[in-house]
Amino acid sequence: MIFSVVLTAFVLVAPVELPDKTMFATLVLASRFRPWPVLTGVGAAFALQTAIAVAAGSLLSLLPRQWVASGVAVLFAVGAVLLWRSAKETSDDVPGEAAAPGSRRDQDWPAWRIALASFGITFLAEWGDLSQLATAGLAARYDAPLSVFVGAFAALFLIASLAVFVGANLVSRLPIRLVRRTAAVLFAAFAGFAVYEAVIAFIA
């Protein structure tokens, strides 16, 4: 395992997921159900989504180096643009649905049913998400799929844990615009580096 790749994946994925729709979905689930089954289902969904993204990125890495670098540049450039635009459109206010969890309901549900519902909601919400694109791009960029998986999954699981156990109080304190703009800058920097690598590969 390559620690620098793990850290890169963690640093790139975590700020993307912080103000993400999946985090708010997890907040709502945690407001209705017992926390541990929710976290189990959400974590399983993140693990599967991360594995799919790493597999897709690893397939891309089989292409010639210059095309891989170009593809990574496009992925991160698109991510940077989307993040920057979403920062302009978003408000730092927490959606009312997630801001006030209220009393827990449906406590009589068995743990497996809560975990399954949490898995399904998270898996669908996360499909095609920016964090998945980032993970695929990193897997294509580095020949270290396990390290990318560990870093990306650790970031996703940490955010899910914060959503479940800290909840809306944390989200209400987050400057969401700043988080998204910081993530956009990180994506843009990684895209610029990938463009440089692509140019060098085409010249060589």
- Answer whether residue 105 is part of any domain: no
Domain assignment of residue 104, yes or no: no
Per-residue pLDDT of the chain (204 residues; tens, 9 = 90+): 899 999 999 998 988 877 667 777 787 788 778 889 999 999 999 999 999 999 998 887 777 777 777 877 787 787 678 767 766 766 544 444 444 444 444 556 788 889 998 999 888 877 767 888 889 989 988 889 999 999 999 999 998 998 888 765 665 666 767 766 776 787 788 788 778 777 887 776
DSSP assignment string, 140-194? HHSS-HHHHHHHHHHHHHHHHHHHHHTTHHHHHH--HHHHHHHHHHHHHHHHHHH
Residue 81 one-letter amino acid: V
* One-letter amino acid of 163: A
Residue 15 lies in a domain: yes
Q: What residue numbers bound the domain in which 62 lies? A: 3-93+110-203
As a whole number of angstroms, the distance between CA 50 and CA 132 comes to 7
d(CA 42, CA 162): 12
Contact 159, 42 (CB under 8 A): no
Identify whether 100 is part of a domain.
Answer: no
Q: How many domains does the chain have?
A: 1
